[in-house]
Structure 1
Amino acid sequence: MAALPPGEAGFHDVPDGPAGSAARGWWDANAHDYLAEHGEFLGAADLCWCPEGLREEQAGLLGTVAGRRILEVGAGAAQGARWLAGRGAQVVATDVSFGMLAAGRDLDETTGLRAPTVAADARALPFADGSFDVVFTAFGAIPFVPDADAVHAEVARVLRPGGRWVFAVTHPIRWAFPDDPSERGLTAIRSYFDRRPYVEADQTGGVAYAEFHRTLGDHVADLNCAGFHLERLVEPEWPAGHERSWGGWGPVRGAYLPGTAIFVCRRA
């Protein structure tokens, strides 16, 4: 396949290999800037599910956590894992980005809470079968790989029977609309069924960043194939008084369109 136009950003078919490996380099390069912009909102030791501000302390999507073996995949700087460690969970965090994990070690020092971390691709987890009671991710791993089914399969493998898998992603309906939090983001401009990933090219035409769209049906089919039962689909509403915009998320569009989908699942 021909290289992309240098510096191009848009929706393109790209080879799975370069697209699936781009996340590590992008997050390594942008970890500092990302945390400088969003770190205060996320908290150093908190589990925030989404830009709407839904937090696990209120939502309780993971169930009882004290004494449970919990894995966070696509953990970034492990803020969620750190919050769980402070509540008695036996928690481990993984991420593909060394830059984000390094930032997490700084947060360990700041908070006095340590979440053990492992550099790992969520499609090849370095843990034994049935190692965990709960696995979760808040916008990690799944949006950045072309083969999300491989993530679900690995999560199913490392979960005990009956274990819980909770993951948050951009709400699929949002892909039909421009990534704009203002009124301009309320008019659909693309087909919901166009599954081409959003891609940013580097100055050589290589894939620097890729994010993948899946319909709700795609997510459910992947879960079913991996042996999960979908117990809840949470679509957080934009809360009154929350004025912070984050990319395409914000109070104007949030009043009309869901921005986040959180899948609460159980392994057979």
Structure 2
Amino acid sequence: MSQETYDSEPEATRREAGEAESSRANRGWWDRNADEYQSDHGTFLGDDRFVWGPEGLDEAEAALLGPADALKDMDVLEIGAGAAQCSRWLAARGARPVALDLSHRQLQHALRIGGGVPLVEADAGRLPFRDGSFDLACSAYGAVPFVADPVQVFREVRRVLRPGGRWVFSVTHPIRWAFPDEPGPEGLSVSASYFDRVPYVEQDERGDAVYVEHHRTLGDRVRDVVAGGFRLVDLVEPEWPAWNDQEWGGWSPLRGNLIPGTAIFVCERDGRDGA
């Protein structure tokens, strides 16, 4: 859920928001807030770390994409790459990553940091790649929470993956939507129905959405994965580590030690070439 500030504070509400409105709102939000986001979180993310979420679970330890020494010469698509930190980590292990993001400003930060990773500005629901272009695909809190039709994204990911390719993505843990998005004690009381799928929307004084995030239950996410043509291999719920004393929006040691904050879905494309 959004934690950034605006010159004119938007109204937070729950209402329907379709694919086009969600894409337009979130492209604008990330373009406006990319500088602040990288300033606030860039140190934690590093320039070439692969962190799955605010808990700090590192791909170097988790190996959810597979053993690090097996990444060499793999073609990897990072979706919602931001400043391409994860892609740089992959490149350092000999992979051939491509970093894709909807936000032009986020990709400008990727250029600022450097590293030579190919960058692509595009919508995750319409990937500009040929069928079977990649061995792996990954997304650390990118794209999936912000789209109205995640199955369309998953089908596109499946299309550009080779048979047997792995798709790993992290999102806000669905249980968090039942709690206020606050890091302190006020964030530990259930305030909404876990089963309320109405999108969270921040809108301006005209009622135009400026930020949209879509809630899905855990069961919804699993069904979306299957409908997208994948097999769920693992579902990882990172515990809050003792070393991590930071607050990141509604994520904090207090809440992280009591309720999960991130869900990571490890999926594999089936071996069939057809959709």
- TM-score class, shorter-chain normalisation, is over 0.9
Map of 1:26 onto structure 2: 29
Moved more, 89-98 or 17-26: 17-26
Give 1:15 shift. 4.0
Map of 2:16 onto structure 1: 13
Q: 2:73 touches 2:94 (CA, 8 Å); kept in 1?
A: yes
* Local SS of the residue matching 1:222: helix
Map of 1:121 onto structure 2: 123
Give 1:13 shift. 2.2
Give 1:185 shift. 1.0
Question: Which runs of at least 4 in structure 1 moved beyond 4 Å after TM superposition?
Answer: none
Q: Distance in 2 between matches of 1:206 and 1:47?
A: 34
- How is 1:59-208 mapped onto 2 (pairs within 5 angstroms)? 59-63=62-66, 64-108=70-114, 113-208=115-210
Q: In the alignment, is residue 56 of structure 1 matched against residue 59 of structure 2? A: yes
Tell me the TM-score normalized by structure 1. Answer: 0.94
Q: Deviation digits for residues 149-180 of structure 1, max 9, x if unmatched?
A: 11100000000010000000000000000001
Give 1:76 shift. 0.7
The code of the aligned residue for 2:56 comes to G
- How is 1:221-232 mapped onto 2 (pairs within 5 angstroms)? 221-232=223-234
Q: Deviation digits for residues 58-107 of structure 1, max 9, x if unmatched?
A: 11111121111100011111110011111110110100100000110001
Q: 2:74 touches 2:136 (CA, 8 Å); kept in 1?
A: yes
Q: 1:46 touches 1:80 (CA, 8 Å); kept in 2?
A: yes
Tell me the TM-score normalized by structure 2. Answer: 0.92
**Selected match of 1:43 from 42, 46, 52:** 46
Q: Distance in 2 between matches of 1:58 and 1:134?
A: 18
Q: 2:234 touches 2:267 (CA, 8 Å); kept in 1?
A: yes
Give 1:28 shift. 0.5
The code of the aligned residue for 1:207 comes to A
Q: Distance in 1 between matches of 2:17 and 2:93?
A: 42
Q: Distance in 2 between matches of 1:48 and 1:241?
A: 15
Give 1:204 shift. 2.2
Q: Distance in 2 between matches of 1:244 and 1:11?
A: 28
Q: 1:7 touches 1:205 (CA, 8 Å); kept in 2?
A: no
Map of 2:6 onto structure 1: none
Q: Distance in 1 between matches of 2:22 and 2:74?
A: 35
Q: 1:199 touches 1:207 (CA, 8 Å); kept in 2?
A: yes
**Selected match of 1:241 from 236, 240, 243:** 243
Moved more, 59-68 or 93-102: 59-68
Give 1:45 shift. 1.0
Moved more, 96-105 or 200-209: 200-209
Q: 2:17 touches 2:212 (CA, 8 Å); kept in 1?
A: no
Give 1:46 shift. 1.1
Q: Tell me the matched-pair count.
A: 259
Percent identity for Structure 1 against Structure 2: 55
Cα RMSD (Å): 1.1
Q: Distance in 2 between matches of 1:85 and 1:17?
A: 33
Q: Deviation digits for residues 96-137 of structure 1, max 9, x if unmatched?
A: 1000001100010xxxx2211001101000111111010000
Q: Distance in 1 between matches of 2:185 and 2:13?
A: 21
Give 1:196 shift. 0.9
Give 1:20 shift. 3.0
